[in-house]
Amino acid sequence: MPKYDLLLKGGRVLDPSQDLDCVCDVAVTKGVITGMAPDLSWTDAGRAIDVSGTIVMPGLVDFHTHAYWGVCEYGVDPDLTFLPRGTTTILDVGSAGAITLPGFRHYVVERSRTRIKALLHVNTAGMTHSVGELIGLQYLDPERTAAVAKENADLIVGIKVRLSRNVAGENDWQAFQAARKAAELAGIPLMVHFGSSFTPLAQVLDAMRPGDILTHCFSGRANNIMDEKGRLLPEVWAAVRRGVNVDVGHGMGSFNFDTASAALKQGLLPTTISSDLHAYSQPYPVIDLLTVMSKFVYVLGLPLGEVVRRATAVPAQLLGLADVAGSLRVGAPADVAVVRELAGQFELWDADKNSRLSPNLLTPFLTLRAGEVF
């Protein structure tokens, strides 16, 4: 019997959870990482793949996705969408509400190879697209939302609310307060989607608590994190100091190169770098999380290791999954993203139709999920 089922030979292993950046072989046995060393022998492995010239990262953890395919209009099929593109763990952010969660668990979470955690929408019918889910508030029910979140604590890690004008109209403050209440009753964080909202962002930020998440943080839309002179709002700094997390959530309307660049220059780093990949954003401009990460590395100039950390170890920890995701340490499930760094000229687009030329692009080569090759 070979010692290992699978050997990934000769890649650059980049694992911020272990402060590791080296050319190393990675061995996998029974779906678990069982070895990492510069020269593991081919002859000890049932199968070996030459990954020299690639970057071997922990399977990506995407902190903002929509995966309730066939029920929520935004939903994509997780296994078809994420696993071939380096992402092995996702957070679905509020596709389901208290009424529709059982279907999400049964038809999506339990049947997917992708590891899934979710936020529960404070709208009990979940998220909708054609008509914003909070234009009417008939389905707003913080008590029921909190109760269902508690009953499903293995899956639900937070509450979600969307506050843009097309989603909530002028109801956004009322919806926010209901979501705030649900999160408090359930004792879990709240994720706030922001952009072109009715209520000023400063008012919302002041009501956010440590552990809460502001998503779409680098939106270029009206009422964003900047004042009219392009300086970060003092309320943003106050929230970050209190322990509020800021998440990228690129999507189709919520990432602007100028906002991101100005925020980074003023010292605001996103806690998590996520895609907001959904049925409408995936074809353009998101494509996948690696493309979003490429914008931060090659256009905005963040170090690759810091970008990988914010798409692996940090979100894994926020999801309570640090033991099983976001790391290549020996003993962890073999969730691995093998990534190529292409060189050339690549036109990368933000969500406001601005493009930048990039000399490099991260693209998927292969993914392992619990040792299985995709």
Interface contacts to Zn ion, rule CB under 5 A = 276
**Shortest spacing between CB 276 and Zn ion, in angstroms:** 4
> C-beta of 64: minimal distance to Zn ion in Å?
6
- In contact, 88 and 82? CB cutoff 8 Å: yes
Smallest gap from Cβ 93 to Zn ion, in A, equals 5
* Cα 297 from chain centroid (whole Å): 17
For the CB of residue 161, give the shortest distance to Zn ion in the complex, in Å.
12
Q: What is the bridge-based pairing of β-strands 20-29 and 32-37?
A: antiparallel
User: Which residue lies nearer to Zn ion by CB, 56 or 108?
Assistant: 108
Least separation in angstroms between residue 105's CB and Zn ion is: 20
Closest CB to Zn ion among residues 235, 276? 276
Q: In Å, how far from its chain's centre is CA 55?
A: 20
The residue written with tokens 């930020």 in the block is 205
Backbone φ/ψ region at 86: left (φ over 0), alpha (ψ -120 to 50), beta: left
Minimum Å distance from CB 49 to Zn ion? 34
SS3 24: strand
CB closer to Zn ion, 236 vs 286: 286
Min dist CB 312 to Zn ion, Å, is 20
Nearer to Zn ion, 54 or 274 (CB): 274
Q: At what angle do helices 172-186 and 142-151 cross, to 10 degrees?
A: 40
CA–CA distance, 295 with 159 (Å, rounded to integer): 29
> In whole angstroms, how close is the CB of 231 to Zn ion at the nearest point?
27
Number of residue whose CB is nearest Zn ion: 276
Residue 251 or 333 with smaller CB distance to Zn ion: 251
